[in-house]
Structure formats: structure tokens, C-alpha cells
Chains A and B, each alone.
Chain A
Amino acid sequence: MEATETVRDRDRTGAREATPSVICSELDIVYTVFGARKKATTTEGEQPWLERILRQRRQVDVGNVRKVHAVKGVSFVVRHGEAVGIIGRNGSGKSTLLRAIAGLIPPSGGRAWAAGRPALLGVNAVLLTGLTGSRNVMIGGLALGLSPREVRERYDDIVEFSGIGDFVDLPMSAYSSGMGARLRFAISTAAAPDILMIDEALATGDAEFQTRSRERIAEIREQAGTVFLVSHSNAAIRESCDRVLWMDQGRLIMDGPTEDVVAAYEASHRKGGR
């Protein structure tokens, strides 16, 4: 309970000068999954995050349909300029939480607020795979709220940053997963969003791209943006984040400075015999 107390104190007294950018209050997310039979080991690879959550969530059967209670009563306040890591095991509700605070999944209970238009960048953040990279740059940029002219102005930067070269004129179905992730990252950060959310995307790039993306994240934070990072790499979290939320089975277990929370998380693996 210690960590939560720390946050409570900080919210009530200190850090008043930085205004909040994301607030969650008792947030609950329940969603419906179709075609979900009890044998949850299907290989529907299109939406692995659903599948992952399916395997570990509390499940209520309604024939072919299942309700998944992925996030339960999560509350926190994040301020401008903070970089927040979200850690937890597979299926602990991290990605769902991220989607909820990006305004993509409506809350089933509780409320959430955010500043501006959050940009979510996930491994599965769907670009249209049948279309070429350049079409996706335009559509992605427009969907992030840029004007066609702004997208055209930033087009070269986006392609250059993604490092995919001539592949930009091929359909994205021809891309390697790393190339797709790099293009997504380049598009999502081109709009300099108020809130950038990254869902395990950095792990896919090579070492050089990881360095560049870390620099881009630092830039966004300097522009008083807020960064959320979901990752299974504790090293990446330690490097980029100054605060961490630890999720388990849909609940927020611990919320505090990176070092404390990651250390406790790692300790839980050892005691759990992993």
C-alpha cells in the first residue's frame, strides 16, 4: 500500500505546477469477444492481444460470445511531461488500459479524461495492409488530425525516419513486421501528439531504430507531451520512464517511481519461482 500512499500525497500536495493530462477514475473495461469457445487456444493471430487476454481473464460464457472484464477499478492521474511505463504479465490488461485512455474503447464503468487527441501506437495499430506505405502515411496522418498539406510537408521526414526506403510504394502486406512497426512509429510521432502511447512497438525495431525512437520520445516529452509505454522489456522501461504502473489481472497493483515498481515486479517473479 506504500506506493499508493506516495502517489496520493503527491497528488494532494506536491507537483501542483504540472497540469494533469490523463485522469482515470475507477475505470472498468468489459468487452465482448465473438467466436470465443472454451478452447481458447485458437490461432486467430489477427488480434493476439485479445487472445492473450482471453486466456487469462475471468470469463463468462454466453454461447459463442464471451464477456471479458479486462480492466477493473483503475485510478490514476498523469501530468504533462511525465513518461509512464505500464508493466505486467501477458493478459494483465495493459494494452486494454492503453486503448481506453486513448479514447478507443469506451469505459464500461468509471470515467476517464484526457488532454487533446491521444495517439496510440501499437504493434497491432492497424494500418491498411492492402494499401501502399505512402497511402498509409496520408491516411494515418489525416486520422491523427493533420491536414493533407501538413502530411505532404512531413511526408519525406516520415519516410526518412521510418527508414523503409523504396518499400513505401509497395502494399504494406509486403513489409516485414519491423518495417511496419517503424512506419507506424514514424506516422504516429509526426503529429507531435499531446499524449503518445506506445504498445510494445520499440521491441520490433533494430538497435539503431530503437535509439532513434528513444530520442523522438524524449523530444515529445520536452514539448510537454505525455508518453505511455507498454513493454515487457524492463530495460526499455527503465530507460524511458520515470513512473510505472504495475497491472495484474486487470487491477492496478502498484503505482510509483520506476525503480521501486520495477524492482517489486522483478521480485515477484523470483518469489513466484519464474
Chain B
Amino acid sequence: MSSPSTETLSLTEPPAGAPASDAATGRHTPSPLSPEECAELARSAGLSELGVRPHRRHYLREIWEFRHLVWHLSSAQAYATNQNNHLGQLWAVINPLLLVGSYYLIFGVLLKTRGGTENYIAFLTVGIFVFGYSASAIIAGARAVTANIGLVRALRFPRAILPMSVTLTQLLVTLPAFGVLLVMIPLTGEPFSWHWLLFGPALVLQTAINLGIAFFLARIVNAARDTANLVPVVIRLARYVSGVFFSITHYAGHGIVSMLLLYQPLAVTMTIGREALMDQYPLTWSSWAAAGIWAVVLGAGGLVFFWRGEGRYGSD
């Protein structure tokens, strides 16, 4: 980065009729009131200062007041995602099916990574759909502020609304895929069980994890937007090491590497999804506790991190 040049590139000459030609001499227009007088006047008139970060409690209340905006933005954007083609919303179901088909062809038939799994199709389907939700939510969440800069520059609302609505949009877009999942699982031979109901809570924990990551990335990308290009790369890497299409314990054993791979947030979300839906994987405290801890730590930590940047969004 070069230091700002002091030379003024003036492409226009100063207006000839300007009184006392301030522009020509380049001096500041004198303030009608001193900064201290302005602050005093603003305080006595009860005005709020612009471009400063609101207090944490105040911020939470503002977000709550704008909850309807989150919902309407998300549902409208989710609906708009698939409206530009003839089959419309049907693609929300067709796309994940095509994805499962192609992954099965590559990993189930050609590369044979089905080791350690009893029902590979169910294993693969849960992995693809659950990971797919995280991947799309994180990629879109990273650009939550920069992609909506027009909205940011036109309307004033707590900016945390943006990562929240982007995450919710991706959840809504993915819901049909989860519907397909719940139909496919019994077709692959999994017996019905009461713990299928836990797939709902698993989805809630996953959403909190995704939202937390989106909060972190949205602020980072807004400050240094080149980083947005790295997000898809990291997601791709995560897709290959998180156990989407192979069993981590079968291929990586039980050592420290396996533990790291198993308990990172994106792998944990798939583990609890499989424990909820598949007979082969009994419910374990460790995975659900890990998911819960990640959800709280990332969700709350992300919100605080994002809030600390409030007041600066839109300046770039």
C-alpha cells in the first residue's frame, strides 16, 4: 500500500462565483458552531449520533424489533432463488437428487469409499445434504454485507440482520432437500425410529453454527474483501476432510488427527444428523455436546464479533 499522495487531482476549476472563493484557496468552510458546541446542542436536543456502535443490549433489542424484516427478506430471497427457470421450485428437489446420484457414481461405485458403512446410500445422502446446507450458508454468509451493499447504503437497520437473513434464506432453500432426505432414508432400508425426531434439533444446532461462522466471515470479508475468494476453497477442502462420503473413524482411525477431523463443527453436524437418522450410529453424548458447544460458542461469539464492527459497515 502506498501512502496517500498529497497532490490534489482537481479536474474542475473552482466555481467563479463562489463567495470568498473557499474552493480556490482550499480552506475549510468555517463551522457555524465549534465541535463542542455541536455536541452540546445535540445532547440538549436529544439527537443520536450517527456512525457509532450502539450498546450491546440496545443492539439486541434492535435486532428483535427487526425480526420481521429477517423473515420477509429470507422468504422472498429463497423464493426468488429458483424462479428464473421453467420448472421453478421443483429444482429445489431435483438438484439434490442429481447431486446424490453423481456422488454415488464417483465415490460409491468408482472409488469405493464405502468402508465401515452398512448403508452407504443413506450415509452419503445425509452427508451431502447436511454439508450442502453448511457450505451454501457459509459461502453466502461471508458475502452477506458486501453483496447487499446497496441495501446497506439505502436503509438503516442493525446490520446483523444481513448474515441472519442470508443464513435463513439458505435454510429455506435447503428445506426441500431435507424433505427428500426424509423420504429417501426409509427407502434405503433404515427402520423408522423415535430418534428421527432429533433431526429437527440437529438442524437447529447446525443453523446456529452456520450463523456464527457467517457473522465472523461477513465482518472479515467486509473489511478485507479479497478473503471472500478463499472461502469457497476452504469449503471445498472441508468437503473432502469432513467425512461427507467416507467414514472418518474407518479411514483415519482413533488418533488425534481423527479426533480433530471428527469434532470440528462441520463434521459434528453430519455426525449428529446420522445419529438421528441411521440405525448404524447410536446416539452419543459426545457428538451432541460438541455440537451444542460449537453452536453456543460460534453463535454468540460471532454476534459479538460482528457487533463490534457495527457502525463501519457500508464505509467501503
Given the contacts A128-B76, A139-B72, A142-B68, A3 and B19 also touching, CB distance less than 8 Å? yes
- CB-CB under 8 A for A126 and B154, given A19-B45, A75-B29: yes
Within 8 A of A (CB), among B25-61: 28-33, 35, 38-39, 41-42, 45-51
Q: Flag whether B73 is at the interface (Cβ < 8 A).
A: yes
**B284 close to chain A: CB less than 8 A:** no
Q: Is B253 an interface residue, CB under 8 A from the partner? A: no
Contact A106-B314, Cβ < 8 Å, known A59-B9, A77-B32, A112-B49: yes
How many residues of chain A are within 8 Å of chain B by beta carbon? 85
Q: How far is the CA of A112 from the CA of B49 in the complex (A)?
A: 6
A207 at the interface (CB under 8 A from B): no
Q: Could you tell me if A126 and B150 are in contact, using CB atoms closer than 8 angstroms? A: yes
A113 near B50 with CB under 8 A, answer yes
Which one of B4, B19, B31, B77 contacts A264 once the chains associate, using CB atoms below 8 Å?
B19
B21 nearest in chain A by CB position: A253
Q: Is A254 an interface residue (CB 8 A)?
A: yes
- Asked if B68 and A254 make an inter-chain contact with CB atoms under 8 angstroms apart, the answer reads no
The one of B11, B12, B42, B316 that contacts A113, using a Cβ cutoff of 8 Å = B42
Is A111 among interface residues, defined by CB-CB distance under 8 A? Answer: yes
Interface residues of A in 110-144 (CB under 8 A from B): 110-115, 117-118, 120, 122, 124-126, 128, 130-131, 135, 138-140, 142-144
| A62-B2, A104-B153, A142-B66 given; A113·B19 CB < 8 A | no
B residues touching A (Cβ–Cβ < 8 Å)? 1-2, 4-5, 8-20, 22-23, 28-33, 35, 38-39, 41-42, 45-51, 65-66, 68-69, 72-73, 76-77, 80, 83, 150-157, 225, 311-312, 314-316
Interface centre among B14, B29, B69, B154 (most CB of A within 10 A): B154
Contact with A58, one of B8, B312, B315, B316 (Cβ below 8 angstroms): B8
Binds B, one of A24-32, A157-165, A211-219, A234-242: A24-32
Q: Which residues of A contact B11 (CB under 8 A)?
A: 55-56
Per the 8 Å Cβ criterion, residues 63-114 of A in contact with B are 67, 72-77, 89, 99-108, 110-114
- CA separation between A20 and B19, bound complex, in Å? 26
Question: Within the assembled complex, what's the spacing in Å between the Cα atoms of A63 and B151?
Answer: 27
Taking A3-B19, A135-B76 as contacts, is the C-beta distance between A25 and B31 under 8 angstroms?
A: yes
Given contacts A99-B153, A104-B314, A253-B23, contact A72 B28 (CB under 8 A): yes
Residue among A107, A144, A253, A265 with most chain B CB within 10 A: A253
Kindly list chain B residues whose C-beta atoms are within 8 Å of the C-beta of A147. 68
Instruction: Report whether B32 and A103 are in contact in the complex, using a CB–CB cutoff of 8 Å.
Output: no
Cβ of A39 < 8 Å from any Cβ of B?
Answer: no
Return chain A residues, CB-CB under 8 Å to B314.
104-106
* Distance in angstroms between the alpha carbons of A59 and B32 in the assembled complex: 29
Question: Among A135, A148, A249, which residue has its beta carbon within 8 angstroms of that of B12?
Answer: A249
Contact in complex: A102, B72 (CB < 8 Å): no
Q: Which residues of B contact A24 (CB under 8 A)?
A: 38
Closest chain B CB from A244 CB (angstroms): 13
Chain A positions 227 through 257: 1 when the CB is less than 8 Å from some CB of chain B, otherwise 0: 0000000000000000000001101111100
Report B-chain residues with C-beta under 8 Å of the C-beta of A128: 76-77, 80, 151
Could you tell me the distance between the alpha carbons of A120 and B154 in the complex, rounded to whole angstroms? 6
When distances are taken between beta carbons in the complex, the residues of chain B under 8 Å from A144 are 155
B residues within 8 A CB of A255? 32
CB–CB B50/A103 < 8 A? yes
CA distance A72 to B155 in the complex (A): 23
Shortest A243–chain B CB gap in Å is 13
Pick the contact of A253 from B29, B41, B153, B311 — CB < 8 Å?
Answer: B29
Q: Which of A1-54 contact B (CB under 8 A)?
A: 1-4, 7-8, 11, 19-26, 31-32, 34, 47
The answer on a CB contact under 8 Å between A143 and B155 is yes
Report the separation of the CA atoms of residues A110 and B42 in the bound assembly, to the nearest whole angstrom.
14
Nearest to B80 among chain A residues (CB) is A130
Chain B proximity of A156: nearest CB distance (Å): 18
CB contact between A271 and one of B2, B16, B42, B156 (< 8 Å): that residue: B16
Q: Which residues of B contact A11 (CB under 8 A)?
A: 32-33
Distance between Cα atoms of A248 and B312 in the complex (Å) = 26
A58/B9 in contact, CB under 8 A: yes
Question: B29 and A73: CB pair below 8 A?
Answer: yes
| Complex Cα gap A63–B89 (Å) | 43
- Taking CB atoms, residues of chain A closer than 8 Å to B49 are 111-113
A68 to B72, CA, bound (A): 35
| Known contacts A11-B33, A126-B154, A142-B66; A23 and B28 CB within 8 A of each other | no
Bound together, the chains give a CA A40 to CA B18 distance in angstroms of 27
Q: Is A268 on the interface with B (CB-CB < 8 A)?
A: yes
Residue A61 CB within 8 A of the other chain? yes
> Quick check: A110 and B35 within 8 Å, CB to CB?
yes
> Which are the 5 A-B pairs with shortest beta-carbon distances?
A268-B17, A126-B150, A106-B51, A271-B16, A75-B31
12 A–B pairs (Cβ distance < 8 Å), ordered by A: A25-B31, A60-B5, A77-B41, A113-B38, A120-B154, A126-B150, A131-B76, A139-B73, A143-B156, A248-B18, A248-B23, A255-B32
A20 B47 Cβ-Cβ under 8 A? yes
